Amino acid sequence: MPSNQQLTRPQQVLTIANSYLKRERPATALLPVAALLVVAGVFAVTSFVPAIVVGGLLTTGFLAPLIQPRGTVRLRTDTDVTSVVDSFTSPVPPILPLQWGTADEVVVEDGIPVYTLSYLFGLRSVEISLHRDSRSISDGSHRINLQLRMDGTPWSRYAVDVYDQDGQAEIEYEYEADQRFGLRRLPQRLIADRYFEAALRAQGYTVVERNRSVTRYLKQLGCAG
């Protein structure tokens, strides 16, 4: 097997991921425009100083690392446990469809999957690498750990448990971002929520339970209740 291997991805998931991009990128681009309109509106009805204050507050909210997404998800599928473990340890795990699905290409480099994503009309790009390990547990379940790194920097982690439940494979996983984000990321996350479950269904998984939360930096510092 060559050290670098380009992978083919399921077309149905790619279609869903492309629909996500068509909505996410304009929404993300419009957010700073909306902020400028707010500042202009404040300036029009008040004066320069209040407009500067509002602009500063909006900029801080958009850019300051205030939020850290985390949560838990429980899935079910008719596929057997062994096949599920194989898919979750593959270069394109089912729970990362909007990562590998939006990539320009997915290449395995010396055993490590790398997703290359371009933005700003192709002027810039990032590489997301997927690092995996798995082990069997004495009760017959399997633990899989996934970590995404963006240009070498830890980005997010996923701890996945796969087990048999009445003849069906069930999957429970916990995820947490390794980076904190500003509020400018919220439109991206809200739109991703809509397409994430559709991409899972396309791969044969049903979402049984999903709990999401946002850890605020101020709470971690003990500055807020």
The enclosing domain of 133 has a CATH number of 3.30.530.20
Q: Structural domain of residue 147, as residue ranges?
A: 11-220
Query: Token pair for residue 98?
Result: 């909007």
**78-95: pLDDT as tens digits:** 999 999 999 999 999 999
Q: What is the pLDDT of residue 224?
A: 39
Query: Token pair for residue 102?
Result: 């939006």
Which of 207 and 57 is assigned the larger pLDDT? 207
Burial group, residue 28, by CB count within 10 angstroms (0-12, 13-18, 19+)? middle
In the chain, the number of structural domains is: 1
The Cα–Cα gap between 87 and 68 comes to 27
Asked if residue 3 is part of any domain, the answer here is no
The angle at the Cα of 64, spanning 59 to 67, to the nearest 5 degrees, equals 125
**122-135: pLDDT as tens digits:** 678 899 999 999 99
Asked if residue 32 is part of any domain, the answer here is yes
| pLDDT range class, residue 25, cuts 50, 70, 90 | confident
- 8 A C-beta contact, residue 162 and residue 171: yes
Quick check: 208 pLDDT over 80? Answer: yes
Asked if residue 4 is part of any domain, the answer here is no
Asked if residue 26 is part of any domain, the answer here is yes
- 8 A C-beta contact, residue 3 and residue 11: no
For the segment 212-217, the average pLDDT, to the nearest whole number, is: 61
| pLDDT range class, residue 30, cuts 50, 70, 90 | low
